[in-house]
């Protein structure tokens, strides 16, 4: 079956069951401005000195706009927007779009693993977190609690998560049981302790990871437990497994084994999985529904092709260390290198069956909205790149 035909079949139950009725337009709520340095927020009202204060005050449809600065806070979103029923109610927490990329930094005050999160979602619905750098958390940069505390329709967009967690704690994103309709888009998740993104508990989802770069984390890039339903689309999973040893995995994508394996529950489409220390794809992850994934050898199973040399970081990214020349710091960047296998190799995610209202989110990259798709190869046609940056 062609990729187009297969995606059409996959999209039918998705559209019927995942998001229900199409989302309405975003609500025209209050814009709540946050500034760590200007008590007047430049004249904007209402004005808050902390992000948490604005979150506590937020109502359905509001936008929390954060001005440049370093915010020494630990954010708790408990019951935020709990009565929301549609996209019209969504609360957006975002770095000021007019601010330089990377200029809004959240640094939690605690360095411990337990309860050491940067941002924790609990019983919250229809909330977006966009454009922040989160660094220095002792635990997860972002934690989505599960079970009775699970969330719904949380969007994590254009984030930079670096240097969180430890050898004892996943430092990127953890997603517990439930948490349907989680979207993780156009984010750079790197140099964190343990896994870049990890589900916990036996089941949950669906979760969507689209257009992210997950690089240089201590354990695996993405770790998916037994029966979570996860879509991995257009992600670059590279150089993970930097921690010594092998316990917990040191691969690009890891799917936990079980007595009833469910490879169809994890969908791998157009990902580049290269240079991870102890392998690229591990566990019951691949089947006939997967396609167009790239690894150095292409030998991992169905839906995987060879991209020789992609395990060399310099062939994939240029200027990875950023302006300070140091790897693992907040200015690291992941623009595709000339001739990179990331360029023009992505799937158009607007064809996945997600709500058309999300197309603008899918067309962004880490740096800017309206970034994708672009012409990356002379004489070709505009196509989506793999990873968080569009060339």
CB 279 within 8 A of CB 258: no
Cβ contacts of residue 247 below 8 Å, gap of 6+?
Answer: none
Q: Is 233 left (phi over 0), alpha (psi -120 to 50) or beta?
A: beta
| 153 falls within a domain | yes
End-to-end CA distance of the chain: 31
| 110 falls within a domain | yes
Instruction: Tell me: pLDDT of 235 over 50.
Output: yes
**Residue 22: pLDDT band by 50, 70, 90 thresholds?**
very low
| Alpha-helix runs per DSSP H in the chain | 3-17, 51-57, 313-316, 359-362
Tokens of 204: 């949950």
| 7 falls within a domain | no
Nearest to 389 by CA among 324, 333, 340: 333
Domain count, the chain: 1
Instruction: Tell me: pLDDT of 101 over 70.
Output: yes
The pTM (predicted TM-score) of the whole model is: 0.92
Helix (H, G, I), strand (E, B) or coil at 274: strand
> Within 13 Å and on the Cβ side, how many CA atoms surround 22?
8
Instruction: Tell me: pLDDT of 27 over 70.
Output: no
Strand order in the sheet with 197-199: 75-78, 119-122, 142-144, 173-175, 197-199, 222-224, 253-255, 281-282
Instruction: Tell me: pLDDT of 26 over 60.
Output: no
| 14 falls within a domain | no
| 26 falls within a domain | no
Residue 84 to residue 61: CA distance in whole angstroms:
9
Instruction: Report pLDDT digits (tens) over 36-55.
Output: 999 999 999 999 999 999 99
| 374 falls within a domain | no
| 386 falls within a domain | no
Strand order in the sheet with 272-274: 69-71, 104-106, 133-135, 160-162, 188-190, 213-215, 236-238, 272-274, 293-295, 304-306
Instruction: Report pLDDT digits (tens) over 66-77.
Output: 999 999 999 999
Tokens of 65: 């706009």
Tell me what the mean pLDDT of segment 363-376 comes to. Answer: 96
Instruction: Report pLDDT digits (tens) over 258-282.
Output: 898 999 999 999 999 999 999 999 9
| Structural domain harbouring 187 | 31-362
Residue 116 to residue 169: CA distance in whole angstroms:
9
Q: What is the mean pLDDT of the chain?
A: 93
% of the chain with per-residue pLDDT over 90: 90
Nearest to 389 by CA among 323, 327, 292, 316: 316
**Residue 16: pLDDT band by 50, 70, 90 thresholds?**
very low
Instruction: Report pLDDT digits (tens) over 125-179.
Output: 999 999 999 999 999 999 999 999 999 999 999 999 999 999 999 999 999 999 9
Residue 296 to residue 341: CA distance in whole angstroms:
11
| 231 falls within a domain | yes
What CATH number is given to the structural domain containing 354?
A: 2.160.20.10
Instruction: Report pLDDT digits (tens) over 284-342.
Output: 999 999 999 999 999 999 999 999 999 999 999 999 999 999 999 999 999 999 999 99
- Taking residue 147's Cβ as centre, other Cβ atoms within 10 Å add up to 11
Nearest to 184 by CA among 209, 152, 211, 150: 209
pLDDT at 28: 74
Task: For residue 200, give Cα distances in angstroms to 31, 108, 164, 256, 341.
Answer: 34, 22, 18, 10, 31
**Residue 123: pLDDT band by 50, 70, 90 thresholds?**
very high
């Amino acid at each position: 079956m062609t990729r187009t035909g297969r995606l059409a079949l996959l999209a039918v139950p998705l559209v019927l069951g995942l998001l229900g009725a199409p989302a309405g337009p975003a609500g025209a709520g209050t814009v709540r401005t946050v500034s760590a340095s200007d008590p007047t927020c430049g004249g904007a009202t209402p004005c808050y000195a902390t992000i948490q204060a604005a979150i506590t005050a937020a109502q359905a449809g509001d936008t929390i706009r954060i001005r440049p600065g370093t915010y020494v806070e630990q954010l708790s979103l408990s019951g935020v927007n709990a009565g929301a029923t549609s996209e019209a109610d969504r609360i957006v927490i975002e770095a000021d779009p007019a601010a330089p990329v990377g200029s809004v930094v959240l640094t939690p005050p605690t360095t411990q693993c337990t309860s050491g999160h940067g941002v924790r979602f609990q019983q919250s619905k229809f909330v977006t977190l966009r454009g922040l750098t989160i660094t220095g958390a002792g635990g997860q940069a972002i934690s989505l609690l599960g079970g009775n505390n699970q969330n719904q329709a949380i969007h994590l967009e254009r984030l930079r998560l670096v240097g969180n967690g430890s050898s004892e704690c996943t430092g990127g994103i953890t997603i517990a049981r439930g948490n349907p309709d989680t979207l993780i888009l156009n984010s750079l998740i790197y140099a964190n302790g343990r896994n870049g993104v990890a589900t916990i508990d036996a089941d949950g989802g669906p979760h969507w990871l689209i257009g992210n770069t997950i690089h240089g984390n201590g354990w695996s890039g993405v770790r998916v437990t037994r029966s979570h339903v996860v879509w991995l689309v257009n992600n670059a999973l590279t150089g993970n497994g930097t921690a010594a040893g092998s316990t917990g995995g040191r691969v690009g994508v890891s799917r936990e084994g079980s007595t009833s394996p469910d490879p169809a529950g994890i969908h791998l489409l157009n990902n580049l999985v290269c240079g991870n220390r102890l392998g690229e794809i591990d566990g019951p992850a691949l089947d006939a529904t997967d396609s167009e994934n790239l690894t150095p050898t292409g030998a991992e199973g169905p839906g995987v092709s060879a991209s020789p040399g992609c395990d060399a970081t310099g062939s994939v990214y240029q200027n990875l260390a950023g302006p300070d020349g140091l790897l693992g710091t907040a200015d690291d960047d992941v623009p595709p290198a000339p001739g990179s296998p990331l360029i023009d190799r992505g799937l158009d995610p607007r064809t996945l069956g997600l709500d058309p209202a999300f197309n603008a989110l899918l067309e962004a990259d880490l740096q800017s909205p309206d970034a994708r798709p672009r012409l990356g190869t002379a004489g070709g046609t505009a196509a989506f790149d793999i990873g968080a940056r569009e060339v």
